A and B are shown apart, each in its own frame.
Chain A
Amino acid sequence: MSSILKLVSQRLALGLLLLLACSVLIFVGTQILPGDVAQSILGQSATPTALANLREELGLNDPAYVRYFSWLGGVLTGDLGTALSNGQEINAQIGLRLGNTLFLAFWAAVVAVPLAILLGLIAVRYRNRWPDKLISGLTLASMSLPEFFIGYVLIFFFAVKWRWFPSVATVYDSMSLWEKLNAIALPVTVLVLVVLAHMMRMTRAAILNVMQSAYIETAELKGLSAFNVIFRHAFPNAIAPIVNVVMLNLAYLVVGVVVVEVIFVYPGMGQYLVDHVSKRDVPVVQACGLIFAAVYIGLNLIADVVAIVTNPRLRHPK
């Protein structure tokens, strides 16, 4: 077991290092963005003196590394700073927004992951026959269409024509769970359609790869049914690559929802980010970027750890 602990803690340390590197990149990236927050706060009527005063007040005249370390120090002590545009605490705002985004991502994942794996198993069971081709065709088509297109098509039919679901997916704290689910049904559907194909194809490929192994022939020659061969003997050996692609897609569900949130006016991280990019509100953009990076690295870290832990050679050394 000690070798597993060692491997896992190595991965954790690497993940933290990577996150630190990301924070530098995010900071540098926001520094070279064009525009000036003082200018955008004061607008057209700004006088040069007012601009200079505001810059001084916001600390924009300090050298970059000083601002980086004071930002990093804040982040490490759990303070993401204040939004320049409206003076609100970013922590409180982001807490709310991240909760909403995770809520959306969670329900999309609850539908997409089991569905993708099930479809992948079915595609393997009937490989190169019509169920396989149908599943591959439909999922590839849904992945190939841009999210905004699927989003507007769904809004047109389900919200405008048939009025089954609302077109605006705004959620409040006072709504019941059922009301919330009803509100996010359309964005969840879009997200599921976008990530389904990738996961399903990888599940199929990973299991088919394992199906070439001699132990699959052994299982077939034991007289097991095709589904048992796949489920009992192929699936356990395909878990690591499947978890990998699932995690990549979960990360996408959190990080890549910007477009979907904007289309459905959903109060999540994506919309928050887009709003504040247009306001040149650097601290908010930095905070969002750092949280996205943390989610992405964290989920991939989990995939790595699962791959290590499911490897019988590491779990049960000689």
Chain B
Amino acid sequence: MAETLLDIRNLHIEATVYPAGEPAKDIVIVDDVSLILEKGKVLGLIGESGAGKSTIGLSSMAYGRGSIRLSGEVFLNGREILSSGSRGLRKLRGKEVTYVSQSAAASFNPAKRLMEQIVEAALEHGVASKAEAEKRAVQLFRELSLPNPETIGNRYPHQVSGGQLQRAMTVMALVPEPDLIVFDEPTTALDVTTQIDVLAAIKKAIQKTGVAALYITHDLAVVAQVSDEIMVLRNGAKVERNTAENIINSPQEDYTKALVSVRSIDHKEKKPSKNPVLVARGISAAYGNKVQVLKNISVEVHPGQTLAVVGESGSGKSTLARVLTGLLPPFEGTVTFAGRTLSRALPQRTKEDLRQIQMIYQMADTAMNPRQTVETIIGRPLGFYFGLQGKKRRERVLELLDEIEMGEGFLDRYPAELSGGQKQRVCIARALAAKPKLIICDEVTSALDPLVADGILKLLLRLQRSEDVAYLFITHDLATVKAIADSIAVMYQGSLVRYGSKSDVLAPPFDDYTDLLLSSVPEMRIGWLEEVLQNRKMESAGN
């Protein structure tokens, strides 16, 4: 039996919340969770948002965000730490346990050079001299394949890319030579092609240094690559814990099974029609007449079908949506809708043109007026385009609510009173209310938990069949693409690198970029990461 490093017993975490207009109340965030982590092992904590995984991770440093109250016992290296007082905790944080956060870009102090921040903990705790710590950092930069390892430490956070910062933060966690590192969604904010490098770097770092880790994520396929064991959490309680292999290959609990089989939507590709609803020809666009972000893009969307536009951040996918809707007039190319050429700029388009193309956004939160009720939000296009008022409008709103599988009870709710998935459903209903022929969906499932995202995709497919609406579906997530697309456009640095029916685009032979993109999507099997890194033809842009 290996030596125990972290022993959490009956952890119970509560917080006081202050809902608007109601008395303050206590909510339970984590309920009676126990876990043991041995030295040098990696335990994956997985669950949806609100499952309490980050809170449990931080409890291993006896740290609680906001007004959180921890009770139970947490033993680290045999000492109980919840009761050890702020002086004792200071000696342990940054020395025995370190932390890698989701957003390294926000977690580095913008006013200080990277190196100063990376060696700070080691100096504070007297683990190493400044020269030793810096030498160790440079060595780690090199091992995690950061460019210019000798000099990158002299840079400020805004001078390096997101993927590099995430690796620099891993270096920061490793420099004090801790016994345990808490990785809190370290790759969630990154593009798939960057994620794979960071993931590989983290795995290498763990293997080389023999440090133990808690790896927190909502993506089972990612955690399966780095963990020895996985613990599945839901609503602050443990669902099941097993070796990574057993969780992936033979999950016991229904919830785990659902997580493993997520994104298994079966969608048969439809043949393109003769009369596409939308044709974009030779679109080139630029912001401020300087930076060209779209280069000669030509795509078609067919009635009742889905064109998926894929690419990483900065590839120009969202800019394409802005051009099609008229928000950004292109300097070259035309947009034809149902056989008619549309005006390039929004102000010149007729109300009818506007009605025909609707949009759904990634952040449902910011796409709705927080001071309007669901009825007002969905009713607005009904009044604006069709002049529906009063009772008729309410009836139509109810019909739409029914279509998005939400009931009458939601009419008077405000956006803040809805869950993430419900908010996105309301946005879908608002788009449908205009009875458009085309809906542009811009990363509509990216901010949602996998199971919720699944529900939204199924809803969109069902609505497509019943309303005969076409989608232009912008995403960076290839699993989503496989699930819903009829045709696919792959974009890279503003150009179209591959375009055609789903079966053509996803069949070899691939161009280098599509190959990189496809191979970077984490697959739910052990050993996937090593395989991909061996077979790659092209370096990802994050380097």
Q: Residues of A with Cβ closer than 8 Å to B? A: 213-215, 217-225, 228, 233, 236-237, 310, 312-313, 316, 318
Contact = CB atoms under 8 A, between A and B. Distances in A.
Interface stretch (B87-95, B218-226, B399-407): B87-95
A217 B110 CA distance: 14
Residue among B111, B121, B124 facing the most chain A CB atoms (10 A cut-off): B111
Contacts of B61: 221
Given A220-B93, A224-B120, A316 B112 contact: no
Contact of B124 (A224, A310, A318): A224
Nearest to A226: B86
Given A223-B89, A312-B110, 18 more contacts: A214-B101, A214-B103, A214-B107, A218-B99, A220-B93, A221-B94, A221-B99, A222-B94, A222-B124, A223-B95, A224-B120, A233-B112, A236-B109, A236-B111, A237-B109, A310-B111, A316-B159, A318-B159
A236 B98 CA distance: 24
Contacts, number: 73
A313 B121 contact: no
24 contacts: A218-B101, A218-B117, A219-B120, A221-B61, A221-B93, A221-B98, A222-B93, A222-B98, A223-B91, A223-B94, A223-B95, A223-B124, A223-B125, A224-B90, A224-B124, A228-B124, A233-B109, A236-B109, A237-B110, A312-B158, A313-B158, A316-B155, A316-B156, A318-B158
Contacts of A222: 93-94, 98, 120-121, 124
A213 to B, nearest CB: 7
Contacts of B121: 222-223
B27 interface: no
Contact of A312 (B103, B124, B156): B156
Nearest to A318: B159
B324 to A, nearest CB: 31
A224 to B, nearest CB: 6
B513 interface: no
Interface of B: 61, 63, 65, 89-95, 98-99, 101, 103, 106-112, 117, 120-121, 124-125, 155-156, 158-159
Contacts of A236: 109, 111-112
Contact of A213 (B106, B120, B156): B106
Nearest to B108: A215
A237 B63 contact: no
A313 B124 contact: no
B54 to A, nearest CB: 11
Contacts of A316: 155-156, 158-159
Given A312-B156, A318-B158, A215 B106 contact: yes
B472 to A, nearest CB: 33
A217 B107 contact: yes
A77 B432 CA distance: 72
Nearest to B155: A316
Contacts of A217: 65, 101, 107
